[in-house]
Amino acid sequence: MVLKTPEEYLESIKRPVNLYLFGEKIQDFWNHPIIKPSINTVKKIYELAQDPNYQEIMTARSHLTGEIINRFTHIHQSTEDLIKKVNMLRLLGQHTACCFQRCVGFDAANALYSVTFEMDKKFGTDYHERFKKYWSEVQAQDLMVGGAMTDPKGDRSKRPIEQPNPDAYLHVVEDSEDGIVVRGAKIHQTGFLNSHRAIIMPTLALRPGEEKYAVSFGVDTNEKGIIMIYGRQSCDTRKLEKNPLDIGNYKYGGQEIFVIFDDVFVPKEHVFMNGEIEFSGELVNRFAGFHRQSYGGCKVGVGDVLIGATALAAEFNGVQNASHVRDKLIEMTHLNETLFSCGIACSSLGFPRQAGNYEMNMLLANVCKQNVTRFPYEIARLAEDIAGGLICTMPSEADLRSNEIGPLLEKYLSTCENLSPEDRYKILRFIENLTMGVASVSYRTESMHGAGSPQAQRIMIYRESKLGEKKQFAKDILDID
């Protein structure tokens, strides 16, 4: 069994990378106060995988090597695996209250596993064997693997080959017996900096003439030619302050990276698609299905924490027994469990692909994500309703600690007996963080746009809706030929 400890993971990412933040090149990124919370989040994954209480859900036995591995490197072998994935993501959301950055690479690997098998079957290529060897290395070293799909896209009314800027979509610029050279960018890349490796995929179904854009490969995140620019998030500079009460979730956080591929060489053995346009759309769809399933776990776990924080805010205000407050907490729970139900449902109705790995039910995975584009917004609204306006007008921690005005703030911010104003600060800033601050990027905004914006799910729901079969039901009942 090869499972890294949190400390071993931290040491393993201490390597030179080409990273920029606020216009400056960053050295020793693992010590930067804005970045450290996102690393703490990943360390929590490695910590829970070491905990005997969670090993059943956090680990699995590899069908490639026979060894016990981190579940984030597992290729699903049953519907039970699919269900455990959703439960694992909920567990991690409950422990971190933010995006834990590993779902994209996990979902990309499971999509590539079946797509490479089917490409080889049709074209006689060896992509599947390449990928299995590559992924066995990932499992054996307990590596964190990110995933990258979204391109900048340039003028979205134009196809990739019609763009004034040919690099608006990542593409192959050189192709030889040894490998390929790629150029372009991938944006909104969750956890890319904190990953050892990344799987790169095309961003849409491609057409004849667009073969150079139909490319998928694995790459080390510190490979020569990769430039990373750290994405800004609301209230991110609060992490630079020395006042943890003002941060909200001061332990954990997410991470989004703008990644530029400036003529990056990829060896042949790490290339998993190169020009097979007819499989590009299938890879996109399968990845999206797996990732939309994921949201039935991760967003639910964060929702659990937000519901708990909101209940505490009500208790701190002395209104926990008010009927309208209880009703709002019930509604938050109802919405959250509905999301979880969708994640479990699409997993329970999973099926095996030709390659032997299991895939979720595509229709219900898209229904799951469609609900995720809506329900977290209502959950957040109800949290803000119960918490009150103080979540966005409260003075700073420095004011609370001030010798002159601190005692006055303590006097007027005191509510229930035996409750310190400091604890009230913590819970209100935490709700602010989850609904409006840094964590809201991974809870609300990512709920909308992650794994495809709402229209992407509606397109897939229409495709998977079997309207012809449903029309036939009505015809049969009514004796219509």
Both 124 and 197 in one domain: the answer is: yes
- Which of 95, 96, 98, 103 is an active site residue? 103
Give the C-alpha separation, 257 to 244, whole Å.
24
Q: Is pLDDT at 153 greater than 90 in this prediction?
A: yes
Four-CA torsion 303, 304, 308, 313, nearest 10 degrees: 0
CA distance 83 to 297: 10
User: Residue 291 catalytic?
Assistant: yes
Q: 330 and 266, same structural domain?
A: no
Q: Is 99 a catalytic residue?
A: yes
pLDDT band at residue 37 under the 50/70/90 scheme: very high
What is the per-residue pLDDT for 442?
A: 81
Looking at the domain assignment, is residue 89 inside a domain? Answer: no
> pLDDT tens across 421-462, in order?
999 999 999 999 999 987 777 898 889 998 888 999 999 999
Domain count, the chain: 2
Question: Contact, 74 vs 37, CB < 8 A?
Answer: no
Radius of gyration of the CA atoms of the chain, in A: 24
Asked if residue 286 and residue 327 are part of one domain, the reply reads: yes
The C-alpha atoms of residue 451 and residue 346 are separated, in whole angstroms, by 16
Q: What is the average pLDDT score of the chain?
A: 96
Catalytic: 333? no
| Domain shared by 77 and 52, yes or no | yes
Q: Which domain holds residue 460?
A: 281-466
pLDDT tens digits, 297-329: 999 999 999 999 999 999 999 999 999 999 999
Whether residue 270 sits in one domain with residue 124: yes
425 in catalytic set: no
Distance CA 455, CA 346 (A): 19
Catalytic residue among 41, 116, 150, 190: 190
Q: Is 446 a catalytic residue?
A: yes
How confident is the model over 321-330, as pLDDT tens digits?
999 999 999 9
Q: Let me know if 162 is a catalytic residue.
A: no
pLDDT range class, residue 417, cuts 50, 70, 90: confident
**Does pLDDT of 467 surpass 80?**
yes
Distance CA 21, CA 13 (A): 18
Using DSSP's 3-state secondary structure scheme, residue 111 falls into helix
Distance (Å, rounded) from C-alpha 276 to C-alpha 279? 6
CA distance linking residue 27 with residue 322, whole number of Å:
52
Residues 347 and 233 in one domain: no
Could you confirm whether 98 is annotated as catalytic?
no
Q: Tokens representing 187?
A: 């944006």
Q: Catalytic one among 295, 358, 425, 443?
A: 295
One-letter identity of residue 271: V
Could you tell me which of 131, 77, 128, 71 has the C-alpha nearest to residue 102? 71
Share of the chain above pLDDT 90, in %: 94
- What's residue 1's pLDDT? 60
pLDDT tens digits, 318-371: 999 999 999 999 999 999 999 999 999 999 999 999 999 999 999 999 999 999
Q: What residues form DSSP beta bridges with 218?
A: 199
Q: Are residues 286 and 271 in the same domain?
A: no
Does 472 reside within a domain?
no
480: buried, middle or exposed (CB in 10 Å: 19+, 13-18, 0-12)?
Answer: exposed
The pLDDT of residue 116 is above 80: yes
Q: What's the rounded mean pLDDT across residues 180-194?
A: 97
A 10 A CB-CB count for 193 gives 26
Are 163 and 309 found together in one domain?
Answer: no
Query: Cα 179 to the chain's mean position, in Å?
Result: 30
